[in-house]
């Protein structure tokens, strides 16, 4: 193994994790606060650049789809809804027997000592991600039906800038970006708390979420295990970024890079990943329902019937379009749904919010894995049902 392969992002993150876990207690709190502040600043830089990256990649991707762009957008949203819907039901079907058996119990959550940033230089958001997404889709469709190539020239220019920004600025900052969040989790004892108090429930969420997505990827890869493992390896850097930063939005650039290696059509990666990153949160479709069901068992409440859960699922799928790829963002959207449909008490709502925040690293990393998996799924559907019909016609 050469030095370049040895010093890749997953290896660096693993080394940083082990170093902080073993030596974190001897690092003074003041230094930890500065390290965390640097990570937050890098995160703000990434979030600030995201609208431009989303706009450039989605615009470039749609223009490359030519006259098929409208068909692609029409099939994209239903496919996102179907994927989220399936995730909800897989979690319900497989988690319910474990929870009914009483093997998994929810214990009391002890207060943690938070680590605050030593400083915070706020970078204002000029354009929101959803505005950039809508604008790029609209401009891309106009460009595909325009008789001039002015929009295409504009797209090529800003796409070149976006790629330089991604590879020369954002990617080199990722190890330092991840370090601050590892330090924060070690200082607050989140990792040890999860492993000690909620290990079984956490394992259930992780096994179901990752197992389901890996299985889908396996079938998409024509049941070739070696190809499936290689595709997962390509997504591993972005999965680790999601794990330690708890922000699927911050992992978008790395997810695009990994998806480009997995797909035959790189334009799909640049279009699908940023376009669906906030509304296709498949990991949350496992984490939130499983935690909710576990709390119902612990509070002595009967698990929801199929009809109740179906209504919950419908609301949940719609709620995904309002979620944000930030730590704890999804569960806050779900609070009124759980209250109205499942009758969650204020104590239960507080508990699920706190537990989800602790589970957020696993939920977010599986969200990121789901982004890469969905790009593969979309390419499969696009190739089979759209491109093949175009060729036959």
In this structure, the number of other CB atoms found within 10 A of the CB of residue 197 comes to 18
Residue with tokens 């979420």: 209
Q: What is the pLDDT of residue 391?
A: 40
Report d(CA 375, CA 387) in Å as an integer: 16
Report d(CA 286, CA 93) in Å as an integer: 11
188 Cβ partners below 8 Å, 6+ apart? 112, 113, 114, 115
In this structure, the number of other CB atoms found within 10 A of the CB of residue 375 comes to 28
Report d(CA 346, CA 386) in Å as an integer: 48
Q: What is the pLDDT of residue 68?
A: 65
Contact in structure between 209 and 286 (CB atoms under 8 Å): yes
DSSP character at residue 299 = T
**What's the number of CA atoms in the CB half-sphere (13 Å) around residue 96?**
11
Alpha helices (H) along 263-328: 266-276, 284-298, 306-319
Length of the chain: 393
Contact in structure between 377 and 220 (CB atoms under 8 Å): yes
Burial of 233 (0-12, 13-18, 19+ CB in 10 A): middle
Record the tokens describing residue 307, joined without a space.
């009809």
**pLDDT per residue rounded down to tens, the chain (393 residues):** 333 443 455 567 668 878 888 888 898 999 999 998 998 888 788 778 878 877 887 787 777 766 666 777 778 888 988 999 999 999 999 988 888 776 666 654 444 578 888 998 878 878 877 788 788 878 888 887 776 788 888 888 988 888 788 777 876 787 787 788 788 878 877 666 655 667 788 888 999 999 999 999 999 988 999 999 999 999 998 888 888 777 777 788 889 888 999 988 887 888 888 888 777 888 899 999 998 988 888 777 888 888 889 988 988 887 776 554 445 557 767 877 888 888 887 777 767 876 777 787 888 899 999 999 999 999 888 887 665 554 444
DSSP character at residue 385 = I
Structural domains in the chain plus CATH codes: 26-392 (1.10.3860.10)
Report d(CA 91, CA 73) in Å as an integer: 28
Q: What is the pLDDT of residue 323?
A: 54
């Amino acid at each position: 193994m050469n030095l370049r392969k040895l010093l890749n992002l997953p290896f660096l993150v693993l080394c940083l994790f082990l170093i902080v876990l073993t030596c974190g207690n001897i690092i003074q709190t003041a230094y930890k606060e500065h390290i965390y502040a640097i990570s937050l600043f890098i995160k703000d830089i990434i979030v600030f650049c995201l609208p431009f990256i989303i706009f450039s990649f989605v615009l470039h991707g749609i223009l490359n789809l030519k006259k098929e762009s409208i068909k692609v957008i029409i099939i994209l949203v239903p496919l996102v809804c179907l994927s989220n819907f399936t995730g909800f039901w897989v979690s319900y079907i497989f988690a319910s027997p474990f929870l009914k058996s009483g093997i998994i119990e929810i214990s009391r959550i002890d207060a943690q000592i938070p680590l605050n940033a030593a400083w915070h230089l706020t970078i204002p958001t000029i354009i929101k991600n959803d505005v950039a997404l809508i604008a790029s889709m609209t401009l891309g469709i106009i460009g595909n039906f325009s008789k001039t190539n002015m929009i295409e020239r504009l797209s090529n220019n800003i796409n070149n800038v976006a790629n330089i920004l991604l590879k020369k600025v954002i990617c080199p900052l990722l190890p330092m970006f991840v370090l601050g969040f590892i330090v924060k989790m070690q200082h607050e004892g989140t990792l040890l708390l999860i492993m000690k108090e909620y290990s079984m429930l956490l394992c259930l969420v992780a096994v179901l979420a990752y197992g389901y997505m890996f299985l889908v990827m396996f079938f998409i890869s024509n049941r070739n295990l070696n190809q499936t493992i290689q595709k997962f390896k390509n997504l591993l850097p972005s999965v680790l970024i999601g794990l330690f930063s708890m922000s699927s939005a911050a992992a978008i650039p790395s997810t695009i890079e990994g998806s480009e290696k997995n797909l035959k059509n790189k334009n799909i990666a640049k279009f699908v990943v940023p376009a669906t990153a906030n509304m296709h949160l498949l990991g949350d479709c496992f984490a939130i329902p499983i935690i909710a069901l576990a709390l119902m068992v612990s509070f002595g409440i009967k698990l929801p019937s199929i009809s109740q859960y179906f209504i919950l699922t419908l609301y949940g799928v719609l709620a995904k379009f309002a979620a944000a790829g930030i730590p704890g963002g999804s569960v806050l959207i779900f609070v009124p749904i759980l209250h109205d449909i499942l009758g969650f008490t204020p104590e239960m709502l507080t508990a699920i919010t706190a537990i989800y925040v602790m589970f957020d690293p696993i939920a977010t990393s599986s969200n990121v894995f789901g982004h890469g998996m969905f790009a593969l799924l979309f390419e499969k559907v696009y190739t089979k049902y759209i491109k093949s019909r175009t060729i036959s016609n």
